[in-house]
Amino acid sequence: MNLIPALDLFPLLASVLVLVGCTMLGNFLVLRRQSLMGDALSHTVLPGVVGAYLVFGSRDPFGLFIGALVAGLLTVTSIEALRRYGRIESNAAMGVVFSIAFAVGVVLIRVGHTDHVDLDPNCVLYGQLELLVWFDAPSSFRDVGFTDVYHAMPSSIWSLLIMVLLSALFVLFCFKELRLASFDPGLSRTLGFSSRAINMVLMLLVSVATVASFEAVGSVLVIAALLVPSSTARLFTDRLKSQILVSILVAFFCAVSGYLMSTWIPLLWQGESLKASGTITVVSGIVFGCSLLFSPRYGYWMQRSRTRQLADQVAIEDVVVLLHKSHRTAVNFPWSTIDPRILALATKRGFLQSPIAGQYFLTNAGQNLALEVQGRRSRWLNYLVTEVGLAPDHAPGTAEHLEHLGDDLLQKSVDTMDDPSHPSGECP
Amino acid sequence: MDGPVTFWLDFWNILTLRSGYNATLVILGTSSLGMASGVVGTFAVLRRRALMADALGHATLPGVVGGFLLSLIFGATGPEILPLLIGGACSGLLGIWLVQFLVRHPRIREDAAIGLVLSTFFGLGIVLLSVVQTTVSTQTAGLDSYIYGQASTMTKLDVLTLASLSLLVVLTSILLRNPFGQVCFDADFAATTGWPVDRIDLLMMGLVAGVCVIGIPAVGLMLVVALLIVPCAAARLWSTRLIDVLMISGLFGGISGWFGAALSSSLPNLPTGPIIVLVAGFIFGFSLIFAPRRGILSSQWDSYCRNQRIAEDHALEHFIDHDDSVANDGLSALFSVRGWSVRKINRLMRRLRAKDFVQCSSSVWSLTPSGRSRGLTIQRNHRLWTQYLTSHADIAANHVDWSVDQVEHVLSDDLVAQLEDQLRLGSEP
Amino acid sequence: MSPIHRPEHSTNSPLSIHAMTVAYDRKPVLWDVDYDAPEEPRLIAIVGPNGAGKSTLIKACLGLVPRASGLVAFRGKPLDDVRSTIGYVPQRESVDWEFPVTALDVVCMGRYRKIGWFRPVRQKDRNAALVCLDRVGLADLADRQIRQLSGGQQQRVFLARALAQEADLYFMDEPFAGVDAATEQAILGVLREMKNEGRTIIVVHHDLQTVPSSFDEVIFLNMRVVDSGPVAEVFHEDNLRKTYGGRLTMLAEAAEAVARSERR
């Protein structure tokens, strides 16, 4: 059985291009908290495209492009105007603009009788990835050299290629400006990099991406392509460059696997293939969900287990110190107040001897740990009192908390404070 | 349709419910839906969750299709309204819950969370839809209408359900407007004063979800968000009091439903949902431009007037400082500190002359008596404000308005007298 | 009645504000502000109660909020001609600290104006930024994502970015907000160094007590300039009362501060 029929080459290519191209722009939308601008723009493509069809009277891709660009520009400026002059909160402004624009689009379709040229709203929503067929594809490698076979290539591929190229160029050449304008628009303006102009170009390119993509994959996948891979990458990295790279990889993976799913899953019940735009969206949603749970840095699972480890560590140290301090009176030690799980854990780690008649005793390792912890706490106390300016009677509690949270660098500088030869730096 | 006259006649008949049973049903249904969504949407907008409603609308799709699949398994022969709505409500609420869950992560902002949920759920819906279409293609005719809506097929039962649900929603919102308003305005504060914020919030979102789900068969899930937020956005331009906004928003929603349905049935081939949204959009646009105080015309005019006033005040002060008159060619020197262009100065002087504050004879500008008294008033105002800022600096900032006609308009007469005393004492120690 | 006092504006002043009025919404928040910074480098504090328009003053000078009337000149030139010589440190809360940039990246942003449009950040810019980071004592943390820095460290990163701008005139919006005493001293130290290099620094400041010991000049602002000038001349109880009104706690603090400045 041929799992990837040659017929799928172009749809597959198209979905990869859509996801990769949109993702590059989407990274900045997410960082600028303008994700929903992508949503809004993908809705307003409909009236733009239909309007262009009614004006130009053909489905010439160039005309549609112009129409959608105009619609995109109008959307961005009218949302901005609503916010500034009508003082309407930005979410509400977006909602008002794009829903009305979408309604205009649907009405235009009915009024202009464009249903028969497959400009129906469904096509805008889901796209028609499956129709991207290269009818005159070269049948063998000998034909590849003849240019005329390329004329029959689906035109959306070309527009997608151009879109990806434009996005890549923009991100490459304006990387620095984008980063500045997204991070600190105020500084950007005082430095003379107009954040409004950068924003406008970004929005225009998102419009271009939406127009180029909607025919192939529909507007819903465009929203997913803009947001999902970049949000996923955000969970893995702390650098903008690597975030963009990771998001492109994620986008590539989602596009390929999502597309393959659309043909493979129906094989389970011998059905026809599913809507590829839908499966790609779902696959990217799943990828995002898994990253959210299991990402090594910001995943829920890791964060929870890290918090837990830290809590355990603190509890064990507390027990050990407590036991060390009250060693002589261990008989009266209030064992019932201490979580048995912690006692078991401390025993397992070799800080406590196994209980004899319900009594625990410190091992040598436990003794050492207690001394070390006490020393560390007193150094922290010293640091807090002398350097930070806390009142001494408040400090001990803070010291117990800080020593576990403080990063290694701070710890180092605290440790060096005991060393008289080392001048205590004013900047830890 | 033989021309505009017949169209308007037709439209008028439908509008006044005199053209047949079906059209009347549809109008009643959509207008009660519009009213309910206008009222409930107000809370969604005030809670800054306008686009949450969009996520909710999109997230109903997998539930609708899933409900349809399930109902097929249990022996239904086509789309039936109840399983579809229940399924839609379930997946919609799940979507909202997911958004709430996602925003708790420090790396995920609310906008991204909404977009993620919206697109993923809708994608899932599309996949399910294509499963349905490829497996049981004969019975899916009604499903599409959930995306774009199909108000024209409403039955009496539908309308009764819609109307009673709407009534319920409107009554609940109006009765509970105080706790709802508290939570919308400042949830944390509401919690500290003892409101059960979580439950109120849940009820509020539940109402939004309810309206969303019952509205979807009529206007479609793509556009239900418009019904929720557009009337409220328009209403907020007319008033700032919660109860007024609720009423106006409900009214606007109702009108949109009524006129939209009437328009779409008097013109051929027009879908009801989008037309309702367009009518709402028209109301919004009108409000945006013409609403008093908050409308664009009014607020732009206000700020233009304010800046003019400030400039005039400054100019009169300069005149007073300059012994009431200045030669024509000395004007730009007089105002040099202001950085005004020659054109601006010329226009300003023309305005002042029109108001009879200055006169120009043999190329010397001088203050008229009324200009002089106005200038002195301004000077006195500013001295009083300065004194006020000095003596009441801790509570000053919100009261001070340099450009007011008379300080007495803002401060009480007693206080002004007191300030004048202080000024006099200060000048002759 | 005497005419309104207007200072003679000098074209050599690093910052001269001519009769600036700023209005938000319906009401003016700054009225007729006139100010000339001294020609020599100085450390200048803007003090005043909440809502007095301190941040607005800075933003209006930088063109970030529109002015209703008035002129701002930097050594006699308009803002657009001298952008590269003006530095700005916004409030710490004004940016998203989850943003995927490192401390070094943030400092590099200060040099973007020098690098120019469309050109990438080069190694030599990074080295220059690293030097600035070193001056505020954070060279070790250059590769940290900014969320992983403490509040005081974040503030120092902003300071390093200002250093990297190599401007003649700096506006800083509450650089001491939420930092501990040690960091405040460290930041002040850097500010003094900057002053000694010939730069004028204008700081929105909250803590009256540290004004006499830390700053050269002070501007008392409460919707209008109450008074301005060298700390020794204008930092006295009368001005404080005019600026802050009869608020008892403030006066107590002020008296303490005045007493301390006299002891000095």
Domains assigned to chain A: 6-224 (1.10.3470.10), 305-417 (1.10.10.10)
Chain C: partners with 3+ C-beta pairs within 8 Å: A, B
DSSP-assigned letter for residue A354: P
Point out the residue among B107, B337, B394 whose CB comes nearest to the CB of C247. Answer: B394
Task: Determine what percent of chain C is predicted with pLDDT higher than 70.
Answer: 88
- What is the Cα–Cα distance from B207 to B43, expressed in whole angstroms? 10
Could you report the per-residue pLDDT of B173-223, keeping only the tens digit for each? 888 888 888 888 888 888 888 888 888 888 888 888 888 888 888 788 878
Mean pLDDT of chain B: 83
Q: Do residues B231 and B349 share a domain?
A: no
> Between residues B234 and A406, which one has the greater pLDDT?
B234
Chain A: partners with 3+ C-beta pairs within 8 Å: B, C
- B15: which 2 tokens? 């509008």
Could you report the per-residue pLDDT of C59-102, keeping only the tens digit for each? 999 988 888 888 888 998 888 888 888 999 998 888 888 899 99
State residue C6's pLDDT score.
55
- What is the Cα–Cα distance from A330 to A324, expressed in whole angstroms? 9
CA atoms within 13 A on the CB side of C86: 27
State residue B326's pLDDT score.
82
State residue B273's pLDDT score.
87
Domain of residue B319, CATH code? 1.10.10
- B61: which 2 tokens? 């799709």
Could you tell me if A111 lies within 8 Å of chain B, comparing CB atoms? yes
DSSP string, B12-58: HHHHTT-S-HHHHHHHHHHHHHHHHHHHHHHHHHHTT-HHHHHHHHH
Point out the residue among A110, A277, A281 whose CB comes nearest to the CB of B120. Answer: A281
Q: Which of B294, B322, B347 is the last residue of a domain?
A: B294
Q: Do residues B361 and B404 share a domain?
A: no
Contact A36 B51 (CB under 8 A): yes
State residue A272's pLDDT score.
72
Q: Do residues B48 and B98 share a domain?
A: yes
**Architecture (CATH level 2) of domain C16-263:** 3-Layer(aba) Sandwich (3.40)
State residue B200's pLDDT score.
87
Q: Do residues B394 and B303 share a domain?
A: no
Q: Do residues B363 and B256 share a domain?
A: no
Burial class (CB in 10 A: 0-12, 13-18, 19+), B206: middle
Query: To which residue do tokens 């509020």 refer?
Result: B204
Cβ(A36)–Cβ(A94) below 8 Å: yes
Contact A300 B120 (CB under 8 A): no
Taking CA–CA distances from C249, the nearest residue in chain B reads: B394
Cβ(A75)–Cβ(A99) below 8 Å: no
Could you report the per-residue pLDDT of C148-189, keeping only the tens digit for each? 888 888 999 999 999 999 899 999 998 988 788 888 888 999
Indicate whether A254 pLDDT > 90.
yes
DSSP string, A303-352: HHHHHHHHHHHHHHHHHHHHHHHTGGGGGG--GGGS-HHHHHHHHHTTSB
Q: Do residues B147 and B72 share a domain?
A: yes
Could you report the per-residue pLDDT of A145-156, keeping only the tens digit for each? 555 556 656 777
Q: Do residues B390 and B248 share a domain?
A: no
Q: How many domains does the structure of chain B reveal? A: 3
Could you report the per-residue pLDDT of B99-134, keeping only the tens digit for each? 988 988 888 888 899 999 999 999 999 888 888 877
Confidence of residue C26 (pLDDT cuts 50, 70, 90): low
Contact A234 C100 (CB under 8 A): yes
- Residue C247 with chain B: CB contacts under 8 Å: 393-394
State residue C1's pLDDT score.
35
Helix (H, G, I), strand (E, B) or coil at B405: coil
Q: Do residues B393 and B360 share a domain?
A: no
Label each residue of A372-418 as H, E or C.
HHHHHHHHHHHHHHHHHCCCCCCHHHHHHHHHHHCCHHHHHHHHHHC
Q: How far is CA A326 from CA A335, A336, B107, in A?
A: 12, 15, 45
- Residue B420 with chain C: CB contacts under 8 Å: none
- What is the Cα–Cα distance from C93 to C96, expressed in whole angstroms? 8
Phi, psi torsion values for C35, nearest 5 degrees: -155, 140
- C261: which 2 tokens? 């400045």
Point out the residue among B120, B232, B274 whose CB comes nearest to the CB of A103. Answer: B274
Confidence of residue B428 (pLDDT cuts 50, 70, 90): very low
- B109: which 2 tokens? 């902002």
Q: Do residues B199 and B123 share a domain?
A: yes
Confidence of residue B18 (pLDDT cuts 50, 70, 90): confident
Q: Do residues B58 and B110 share a domain?
A: yes
Q: Which of B294, B323, B340 is the last residue of a domain?
A: B294
- C179: which 2 tokens? 């930092």
Mean pLDDT of the region A176-202: 90
Q: Do residues B76 and B182 share a domain?
A: yes
Indicate whether B279 pLDDT > 90.
yes
Indicate whether B250 pLDDT > 60.
yes
State residue B209's pLDDT score.
86
Packed helices B156-175 and B21-46: angle between N→C axes, nearest 10 degrees: 30
Q: Do residues B86 and B219 share a domain?
A: yes
Q: Which of B367, B384, B404 is the last residue of a domain?
A: B367
| Apex B235 CA angle, B233 and B240, nearest 5 | 105
- What is the Cα–Cα distance from B3 to C175, expressed in whole angstroms? 71
Chain B: partners with 3+ C-beta pairs within 8 Å: A, C
State residue B398's pLDDT score.
55
Mean pLDDT of the region B244-248: 92
Cβ(B364)–Cβ(B325) below 8 Å: yes
Contact C112 A239 (CB under 8 A): no
Q: What are the DSSP E strand ranges found in B332-426?
A: 358-361, 364-367
Domain enclosing residue B152, as ranges:
4-294
State residue C255's pLDDT score.
59
Alpha helix ranges (H) inside A184-299: 185-190, 195-234, 240-264, 276-294
Could you tell me if C125 lies within 8 Å of chain A, comparing CB atoms? no
- A302: which 2 tokens? 């890791």
Beta bridge partners of C73: C16
